[in-house]
A and B are shown apart, each in its own frame.
Chain A
Amino acid sequence: MKHSFVDRYANLDSPLHLLEARTKIVGFSALIFTVLFVHPETLGQFFAFFFLMAILAGISQIPMQYLFGRAFVLLPFVLLAGIALPWRGNEGWTWFLALMFRSILCLLMLVLLTNTTRFIELLRGLRKLGCPKILVANLSFLYRYLFVLTDEVMRMRQARDSRRVGRAGVLRELRTLGSMLGTLLVRSFARADHLYEAMLSRGFHGEFPVSDPRRFSWRDFAFISVVALFVAAMVHR
């Protein structure tokens, strides 16, 4: 079955893609942290951030449409959070705009990060940066099994829909859904057991090896320098 997953442009070949995962994690985290402390009234700083994002997005070769599509999907939630602000007068408007800018910028940065780094490399970078082994292992299992279980859900939904006509009552609907979830759960457990036995018998010791890892190069140095200069300029004012 077909999946439209979110790191679909991670296999491109741009200079941003060629960076080591750690560089990108540290760099984008620093940028995200900085943008949260931009003063609401200094619009110029927000535009500097947008300018930097535009350059990075251009380098990354990810289609603009996709980039903004993903960034704007979540905007309704932000709108909901900030909906009361404009009623506080002029200052409220400033805060509201700042909230919008910050959210869009953070989203853009995260979309860029996840779409320029293969997921397995992202995890490897997190691990090397000291993220707990168990969390990284969990995330990689999640990534591998997401597609399998999503297929399972699609099949189950198809099976349910082809066995009934129209909609049942609320109570019955809930009971069906509960049973479906239960079935999915039992199958997941069984799968996990089989999987673990198979992995143990093949020598699994808690970490996944990565083929063709990126190396630290002059590109990483350049990227980190640019980010550091930018952050310093923003904080110094």
Chain B
Amino acid sequence: MVPVMGVLSAFVFAAQMLNFPVFGGTSGHLLGGALLGILLGPLGGLMTMATVIVAQALFLQDGGILALGANVFNMGALPVFFGYAVFRMLGSPQRPGKALGFLGFFVGWASVVISASVCALELGISGAVPLKIGLPAMAGFHAVLGVVEGALTAGVLSFLARVRPDLIRGDSGARFGLADWIGGFVMVAIPVGILVLAGASKLPDALQSLLAGVPGSAKPAANLLSAGRYTDYGVVLYCAILLLFVVAYLAARAGQNRRGGP
């Protein structure tokens, strides 16, 4: 499993060199999250995307170190689990044709829009960009960009169905295991938690009173970090990111144990 994931990480990197000209001077390329979820399953796909995102942060200084938790969740976990879940639930069409093409397109397109929307939600609760502006902008912009991702996902899947149909997993018959449940829980619980937090923050200073309610946690943090009013929310966000990272790590670890290590 390890060499497959490693080489596929390199594949995602290399595949991003193959640009497709969109309008004007910009160009789109494959992001690959949903595709990897379909090909490698949820945990293999997540590890591969995590590797790519870590490597981008380290090599290209792209994406950031402290935002790794958020990035791995938004661009790794969400599209991978989404792609996998859709193909698992609906069952993958085994032969090339309209069904496979359409499903591939939908999964690729939707995964990009989901990632962007959740990112806007996160920005909303952090107070950086108001949700009212951020969500329509991010979702709308990526609904257009997602077309390229959808088309490429469909193209690759159709090609694979012709050449190596055994690589497309979908209904491989395995039952939902512990790791799948953890993944499913993360997928459902985090957005719900974000929504609840976002709702709470509409009340004046609800988050601050939440922090102040925990004895001894708000004061030292405020003194030590000594920044202005928006770190109060920042602390919550960083805790959430840390939590995401831990959960993702545990899920990956559970999967590794189940598969018997590298």
Contacts and interface: CB of A to CB of B under 8 A. Distances in A.
A135 B245 CA distance: 13
Interface stretch (A14-22, A140-148, A211-219): A140-148
A118 interface: no
B61 interface: yes
A135 B51 contact: yes
A196 B6 CA distance: 11
Contacts of B111: none
Interface stretch (B10-18, B178-186, B190-198, B204-212): B10-18
Interface string B105-136: 00000000000000000000000010000000
B5 A138 contact: yes
A39 B152 contact: no
A132 B253 contact: yes
A54 interface: no
A118 B227 CA distance: 36
Interface in B232-262: 249, 252-253, 256, 261-262
A157 interface: yes
B11 A184 contact: yes
A29 B62 CA distance: 16
Contacts of A133: 262
B155 interface: yes
Nearest to B223: A235
Interface in B150-172: 151-152, 154-156, 158-160, 163-164, 167
B14 A196 contact: no
A114 B58 CA distance: 7
Nearest to A141: B6
Interface string A110-145: 110010000000100000000011110111111111
A149 B228 contact: no
A186 B228 contact: no
A199 B3 contact: yes
A188 B155 contact: no
B59 interface: yes
Interface in A144-185: 144-146, 148-150, 152-153, 157, 173-175, 177-185
Interface in A1-23: 5-7
B257 to A, nearest CB: 11
Contacts of B160: 182, 185-186
Interface in A183-228: 183-186, 188-189, 191-193, 195-196, 199, 206
A57 interface: no
B261 A74 contact: no
A51 to B, nearest CB: 21
A39 B59 CA distance: 28
Given A137-B2, A186-B163, A192-B4, A150 B17 contact: yes
For A183, A188, A193, which residue has the most chain B Cβ atoms within 10 angstroms? A188
Given A33-B66, A140-B6, A181 B155 contact: yes
A138 B152 contact: no
A79 B231 CA distance: 21
Contact of B55 (A74, A111, A142): A142
Contacts of B55: 139, 142-143
Contact of B61 (A110, A142, A188, A237): A110
Contact of B7 (A5, A110, A182, A192): A192
A188 B7 contact: yes
B152 A110 contact: no
For B249, B252, B262, which residue has the most chain A Cβ atoms within 10 angstroms? B262
6 contacts: A110-B57, A139-B55, A149-B11, A157-B18, A192-B4, A196-B4
Given A133-B262, A178-B151, 4 more contacts: A37-B226, A137-B262, A175-B155, A181-B156
Which 4 residue pairs spanning A and B have beta carbons closest together?
A: A178-B155, A141-B6, A182-B159, A145-B10
